[in-house]
Structure 1
């Protein structure tokens, strides 16, 4: 028996619900009621003869069938939109949505992004910043720049460069530091990664004092607190070269500890578009220049007290 025609509106509703991770948010985007979204999803499941979502106490959870269908639909709807734009007489521009770790965006990407835009006017880059917690599919992104160790399940990832951590503080506080153990006199500002300070003190060969300072989920916030003289923050030095050159922050000791790398990641089952390929090649080339420059900021005497 032939399968009934699959309603396009139901497919579109599923794509939005999957991307938003919520029937309520999907209803807002589509400007319909939540009941209408539920009806379209139920209709699609009935036609396909399979379940696309599991409703749990934690919210919507896509089934294997739902996860298989979503990237195909998302790519298809994006392709349709691009063709319609061309038929409508608009410039042939491909939108590229990228989630970026805020520290990387402010400290490295944004000063260089104009170079990409100048060389690739056919790509409309849209940046969404985050504190390294990102769900590419759910947030409707194409790619994401993340910090960590790589190996994210279901994703391809290209390593960009390391970002070693070292204590940074205000010049006034740095003036009173003679050896790593002196940092115990200061408030040690912390990220949510609790092993970072003990790891740095181990490299520096000094006992780690109790880290009792406030915990932040943003390196940008840590840097601002450190620059204000609140304490010392363990930060990726490469991302704060401007703060150091302006003497808002000082790196009192040359010891560094590695906590991971920056990566460009995207879902494994997503077709790579021309815009994604262009951005990946551009970013990899510039990241390679960083890796080739072994005279990193933490090794420059003029940046130390």
Structure 2
């Protein structure tokens, strides 16, 4: 079967319209009229012999065929853009886009990135921080450093380091905490992972109390709230060494519970580029140097 010759402008018109859910907003991005975008998408549909959008009174909705085509085009345009950007100003540079959960970015990666820059000046690193919920494909990521159990559909995951959790709070609040059971009378600040406090209390040999208190989508904001005396946060303690050294927060009990680890992930369909391989090898060496026992598993018990 012959593959139809598809005009690039029509493919771009479809991809932009799908992202925006609107021919008008796609036209603004592509600097053409809404009518031109609509005609290009219509021509593409006629060439393919399918309907890509349902035209609704207040926008566009992708059909099944549109859903199948969109991720392919998104990835293709991202790769073209990344390759072309390597030739900016007459210099060839390898572009690498890495998504990083904010806690790991601030607590571990950023203090070491200058070393990577000095050792690999040809890699143009583009860092995107998030709260652990990101779409590797749609966000155009080569790698995504995230927290969890390593089981993400369609993803290869390399373990980086365990991230045991422990409570932290403002120094003044810690003065009234004498044993883990005292936490049941305090405001326990929560993340969107609802079972973490229960796991920690069981590790401490205590029946978990009913949870109350505020909820946050990032350990960074959890720690800031705890430092201001709002309550007690349960966070990956190794990511907040600087804040503890500055006495903004303290660790009232040396009990840790493992609920997940940090992983370097990429789509299985993503072929590793030289820049990706360079970053992966540097990152694993840096982690091994900083945490020789990072591959070990923490036991859910008290560390006295």
TM-score bracket, shorter-length normalisation = 0.7 to 0.9
Report the counterpart of residue 189 of structure 2 in structure 1: 189
Q: What pairs with 1:192-203 in structure 2 (closer than 5 Å)?
A: 192-203=192-203
Q: What residue in structure 2 maps to residue 301 of structure 1? A: none
> After alignment, is 213-222 or 96-105 more displaced?
96-105
Which 10-residue stretch deviates more, 1-10 or 283-292? Answer: 1-10
Q: 1:134 maps to which residue?
A: 134
Structure 1 gap ranges (5+): 299-303
CA distance in 2, matches of 1:263, 1:160: 5
Q: Which 10-residue stretch deviates more, 55-64 or 277-286?
A: 55-64
Find out whether 1:118 has 2:122 as its counterpart. Answer: no
- Structure 1 position 167, deviation (Å): 0.4
* Rounded Cα–Cα distance in structure 1 between residues aligned with 2:206 and 2:2: 74
TM-score, normalised via structure 1 length = 0.83
CA distance in 2: counterparts of 1:139 and 1:22, whole angstroms: 17
Q: Which moved more, 1:177-186 or 1:55-64?
A: 55-64
Secondary structure of 2:190's aligned partner: strand
Aligned to 2:31: 31
2:208 corresponds to which residue? 208
Cα RMSD for the two superposed structures: 3.1
1-side partners of 2:35 and 2:265: how far apart?
Answer: 35
Match for 2:82 among 47, 55, 78? 78
Shift of 1:70: 4.5
**Unaligned runs of at least 5 residues, structure 2:** none
* 3-state SS of paired residue (2:265): strand
SS at match of 1:216: coil
Aligned residues: 294
Q: Distance in 1 between matches of 2:34 and 2:271?
A: 30
Q: Which residue of 2 aligns with 1:90?
A: 90
Does the CA contact (< 8 Å) of 2:102 and 2:131 recur in 1?
yes
* Bigger Cα displacement from structure 2, 115-124 vs 272-281: 272-281
Contact 1:21 1:138 in 2 (8 A): no
TM-score normalised by the chain length of structure 2: 0.83
